Structure 1
């Protein structure tokens, strides 16, 4: 199954770290990158992504706002909010919109449970 993951973070270094963790777990999966919420929506308008990893703390629009916008057009897409800002309120808001929560810095160990669940969900949707 070919899977494409959209990594959204306004930090290029954070996108590299997330991509490295993703490649360690799923070397055959493709990745797309965006440096802002607006750029992420442009990427999604022109390319297909199956999963989104979204930084919470971005300048123009926070990750929860972007996740809601994606959810409006791609209700079934597995989404994870990534942040070093670990607050119960952010975790609760992520869960409200059906998004997972992953602490920064992103590691293969931290990403693995989300990707496993996302792969199962994608199989059931595509299957």
Structure 2
């Protein structure tokens, strides 16, 4: 099965790193990129996404706010908030929203665990 992953991070390098790992883990999956919450919401309005990886610390709205907005659009969307900030409050807020918290630096192993777990609950997006 092929899925579409939305990758949201204000760092182009961080997005490239996730895309490289995604291609290694699931070469048949596609991805969409966004540098901030506004771009991410525009992507979601244009195309169906199956999963989303959201950076926590971005200009404008942070990843937790974006996660809540995406969950309001699609409550079943598997989300991960990715951050080097491991404060208990951030981890708890991510969980309360229904998102998984993933620590930076994001390893391929940790990414694989999230993607494979989420994929087990999904049907592929229509292209």
1:48-99 Cα deviation digits (max 9, x unpaired): 1100000000010000000000000111000000011111111100100110
Q: Does the residue aligned with 1:7 lie in a helix, a strand or coil?
A: strand
| C-alpha distance in structure 1 between counterparts of 2:86 and 2:18, whole Å | 17
Deviation, structure 1 residue 2: 2.0
| C-alpha distance in structure 1 between counterparts of 2:32 and 2:116, whole Å | 19
| C-alpha distance in structure 2 between counterparts of 1:103 and 1:39, whole Å | 23
Q: Could you tell me which residue of structure 2 aligns to residue 27 of structure 1?
A: 27
Q: Could you tell me which residue of structure 1 aligns to residue 75 of structure 2?
A: 75
Q: Does the residue aligned with 2:21 lie in a helix, a strand or coil?
A: helix
1:16-38 Cα deviation digits (max 9, x unpaired): 11111111211110000000000
> Which consecutive residues of structure 1, in runs of 5 or more, have no partner in the other structure?
none
Cα root mean square deviation, aligned: 0.9
Q: Does the residue aligned with 1:31 lie in a helix, a strand or coil?
A: strand
Q: Could you tell me which residue of structure 1 aligns to residue 119 of structure 2?
A: 119
- After TM superposition, the structure 1 stretch with the greater mean CA deviation from structure 2, 21-30 or 32-41, is 21-30
Deviation, structure 1 residue 113: 1.3
The aligned length equals 123
| C-alpha distance in structure 1 between counterparts of 2:2 and 2:110, whole Å | 22
* Correspondence list, 1:1-127, <5 A: 1-123=1-123
> Which consecutive residues of structure 2, in runs of 5 or more, have no partner in the other structure?
none
TM-score (norm 1): 0.93
| C-alpha distance in structure 1 between counterparts of 2:72 and 2:27, whole Å | 29
Q: Does the residue aligned with 1:6 lie in a helix, a strand or coil?
A: strand
